[in-house]
């Protein structure tokens, strides 16, 4: 592993308990840590702290996302390694363009960092520029991986309990067009519309499992 001596990690996480836990674990593992809850706080800290690694939550409440912050940090500090944390394996679900995630960054689901060694290993991989599929949870196979942006959006509306007519009104299109889009989305997500059970309920459950409770429009 890359030597952790004097390695500095900037932790940006808006959940106070998780932020404290991550910082404590990293300090115990030999890292020097500064932590904050927002992109604005991170920008204030970064210049003086000069981190080797930025550990960023994707969703930081109102304002810039962790991805937005990463792009700013990389512009000012091209060598900073990046590790993203999220509850959501598919960044597009929360409106984040996954094409903006640097190829050499790590991207971990928060449920994996209950093992402190996993986080240290991801940091090590990011520092080496070798954060392969093992540390890229957005690259893992799961039900929504093949969905287009339109299909993701319509499944979110299905999960909100909206009818095809309501979705058509929201998207300013026809009910027939929505019916076709929903059908294609179900197929891409591997939802069998011919099997037993209500496919809209199944789709909603799968969306909530992967993306959490959807926000209202």
CATH code at 8-139? 3.40.50.2300
Per-residue pLDDT tens digits for 42-85? 999 998 999 999 999 988 878 788 888 999 999 999 999 999 98
Per-residue pLDDT tens digits for 155-196? 889 989 999 999 999 999 999 999 999 998 888 888 877 777
User: Which residue carries 């026809």 as its tokens?
Assistant: 174
User: Which residue carries 């179900």 as its tokens?
Assistant: 186
Into which CATH architecture does domain 149-211 fall?
Orthogonal Bundle (1.10)
The end-to-end CA distance of the chain, in Å, is: 46
**Residue 146 pLDDT exceeds 80:** no
Q: What is the pLDDT of residue 198?
A: 87
**Rg of the chain over CA atoms, in angstroms?**
19
- Between CA 198 and CA 189 the distance in angstroms is 15
- Lowest mean pLDDT of 28-37, 68-77, 149-158, name the range: 149-158
Supply angle C-alpha 43, 12, 72, rounded to 5.
Answer: 40
The two beta strands, 8-12 and 53-57, are parallel
Q: What is the pLDDT of residue 87?
A: 77
- Between CA 169 and CA 172 the distance in angstroms is 5
**What's the whole-model pTM score?**
0.70
Domain ranges for the chain: 8-139, 149-211
Per-residue pLDDT tens digits for 106-137? 988 888 887 778 888 899 989 988 776 778 77
Residue 5 pLDDT grade (very low, low, confident, very high; cuts 50, 70, 90)? low
């Amino acid at each position: 592993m890359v030597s952790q001596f004097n390695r500095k990690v900037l932790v940006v996480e808006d959940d106070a308990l998780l932020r404290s836990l991550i910082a404590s674990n990293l300090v115990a593992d030999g890292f020097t840590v500064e932590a904050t809850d927002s992109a604005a706080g991170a920008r204030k800290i970064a210049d003086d702290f000069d981190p080797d690694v930025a550990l960023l939550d994707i969703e930081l409440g109102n304002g810039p996302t962790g991805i937005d912050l990463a792009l700013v940090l990389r512009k000012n500090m091209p060598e900073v390694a990046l590790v993203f944390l999220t509850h959501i394996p598919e960044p597009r679900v929360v409106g984040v363009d996954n094409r903006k995630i640097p190829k050499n960054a790590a991207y971990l689901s928060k449920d994996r960092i209950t093992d402190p060694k996993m986080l240290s290993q991801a940091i090590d991989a990011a520092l080496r520029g070798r954060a392969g599929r093992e540390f890229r949870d957005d690259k893992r196979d799961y039900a929504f991986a093949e969905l287009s942006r339109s299909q993701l959006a319509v499944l979110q509306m299905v999960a909100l309990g909206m009818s095809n007519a309501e979705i058509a009104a929201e998207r300013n299109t026809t009910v027939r067009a929505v019916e076709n889009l929903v059908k294609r989305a179900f197929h891409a997500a591997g939802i069998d519309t011919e099997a037993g059970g209500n496919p809209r309920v199944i789709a909603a459950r799968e969306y909530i499992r992967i993306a959490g409770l959807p926000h209202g429009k």
